[in-house]
Structure 1
């Protein structure tokens, strides 16, 4: 089948380009610009407003660099929420890219203003905050997306659908790892742009676990379709001196008693962005490596191994086909995954605002429930490490009221 023969995976066309506001992202902040670029790449958004910094001079200068109308370049996100809600051409959604401890108040303010929310991970710093946002979403019906962008790679969606369709039989074990080397640098160099990442007052009781561990946790649950139920964790500081952990090793159990491991470190010399997942079942194994995202490895039991490459046809399934924009052999990578994620957010938000339903299973973007599960995971890991590596539940429903980082 030719690359152009199968376009059945295309999403419905956009009715209009949605208007996005961004909180955070000024002065060259990395993640805010990643959000904005992903939104633009999806071709379903225009970035029209922002409160890009808490410093008024930086907010105004950054707004000018982003090409924002000066009237919509705000110095305070509270003012932005109120002003945009009152405009006939106000933003359709806000992207929250500020430090972790501000996620909750910013999200709450925009939800109170009736504006859909797209929030960076981890969702919030406490379980009570996560529960409050879930309740507010139930009251308002707003769309709330969480940017676990690795889940929007085409081959991740391929793996997820293959598992659901029984390609490797019954899942028997799940392993995920995420290794980087950043924390080997002196703290002032490692976190020069984001010093808050090692500030317990802003990220609480976990650093690397909240930063990259939440990605590993979400990827394991997303691909396998199984929720992590409990874990035991051991935190380490293996890099430059800093107040919180840069490494964590965890043994996990998923629904149905499926065992697994989750290994993370930001002090692994020579590692760049080594996020990898391996899921084995009774009839085979699936493996994916985000540094080589174009390929999914299917290793059937006692049979030749299969390498599936991104592109239309040749075994690529419908969930992956939504996210194929270039012919096979023309690489797509993380920037495309961000665009894919923002495309899903746009479809959901446009449908909500137009009062339209969507076909069941059309979208699989991470939302509030997934974000809250990430917070519960962090809390369980912190408790387990503090208690000498004991088993702790990571189910949100099992977490005590008032628990926080």
Structure 2
């Protein structure tokens, strides 16, 4: 991206500017989510994947690298080597995405930050609060860009919901309810699946499984759309299915700024629910409701008036600064990959602007950043504390 090109961006309602070349993206972790994110990054038309540490096994790293069309010399077996060598490479990566199991996030992110490379890390940011705070501090000190994979906040209709609430479309917020219901852990033997084992291993997943994986999405979405930070919670963590070392279900009462009450529920044992992320925010004059499985639509109610059902697309009540997140016309569906692509588009804009020494307007981008990631880890920690205390109220510090 050039200064001359970017200086033309004076209208916040126009499409995101494109850099003068695709940015170079590295990958740490070669599992399923890395493939999803790489697909989304490519869809944004702002990234090309050029390097990766896809496995610590040399032969497997090379084999996976070939599947990703990577040059052999840029297939690494450790993120430390990748960070150091890419920082010195004449065509080194502009940023890296970290899609490993949770316990690797801190060390990997730290290695790239210390080598001057921007980072987009999957959530939860880390397994420990002090590590999350350390990454936030390192990012501020370095001036680098750090995104976090709360992609649910990048659906166009979630951005529309945020606009409605921020502009007083439901009046003063007085309650917030969010849930994330899935059913994929229903089978009794699910814990034996390779892609599940690490999610139930405290050494890798941390002190939680369901909470750190999907409840944190719900918590972020509630704060993102309402504009209110979550301040307190009381939680109960459960194993509702076959015996597991970590919870598969969590129920909680929540409290937000201004003493706004709420509820949050998350489970992986709700047959009939696959992507059951639902958000409802009610206020003094109306409410909004959104459902991930019907992500194209947003219900906006004004008390005493007919309900409005907004659909993703151009015009007809969709805010102009939301339209730049839309790729296809009304009636041609968009979904999770497009939401991830929105995240990678905003992240690319921030990375390119930083590299050009340009300052973006404060409200121009809304991608989740390292501060959001740190708040997510604090939320998880408070949940564990509350559960251990028998479901008592705990402040989120």
CA contact (8 A) 2:18 2:46 kept: no
Aligned to 1:234: 236
Pick which of 238-247 and 280-289 moved more. Answer: 238-247
**Separation in 2 of the partners of 1:191 and 1:256?**
44
Aligned to 2:8: none
Q: Secondary structure at the match of 2:194?
A: coil
**Separation in 2 of the partners of 1:317 and 1:207?**
37
Aligned to 1:183: 185
Matched residue count: 387
TM-score (norm 1): 0.93
Aligned: 1:17 with 2:10: no
Aligned to 1:402: none
Identify which of 205, 208, 219 aligns with 1:217.
219
- TM-aligned CA deviation for residue 289 of structure 1: 0.4
Structure 1 residues 66-215: aligned runs within 5 Å: 66-188=68-190, 191-215=193-217
TM-score (norm 2): 0.95
Structure 1 residues 354-393: aligned runs within 5 Å: 354-393=356-395
**Separation in 2 of the partners of 1:201 and 1:115?**
27
Change beyond 3 A, Cα 1:110–1:232: same
Q: Secondary structure at the match of 1:291?
A: helix
**Separation in 1 of the partners of 2:193 and 2:217?**
19
Aligned to 1:33: 35
Structure 2: 5+ residue runs without aligned partners? 1-11
- TM-aligned CA deviation for residue 37 of structure 1: 0.7
**Separation in 1 of the partners of 2:251 and 2:191?**
25
- Give the root-mean-square deviation of aligned CA atoms: 1.3
- TM-aligned CA deviation for residue 188 of structure 1: 4.5
Structure 1: 5+ residue runs without aligned partners? 1-6, 399-405
Aligned: 1:343 with 2:350: no
Aligned to 1:54: 56
CA contact (8 A) 1:183 1:190 kept: no
- Per-residue Cα deviation, 1:183-223 (whole angstroms, up to 9, x for no partner): 21234557422411000111222110000011000000000
Pick which of 107-116 and 68-77 moved more. Answer: 68-77
Identify which of 295, 298, 315 aligns with 2:297.
295
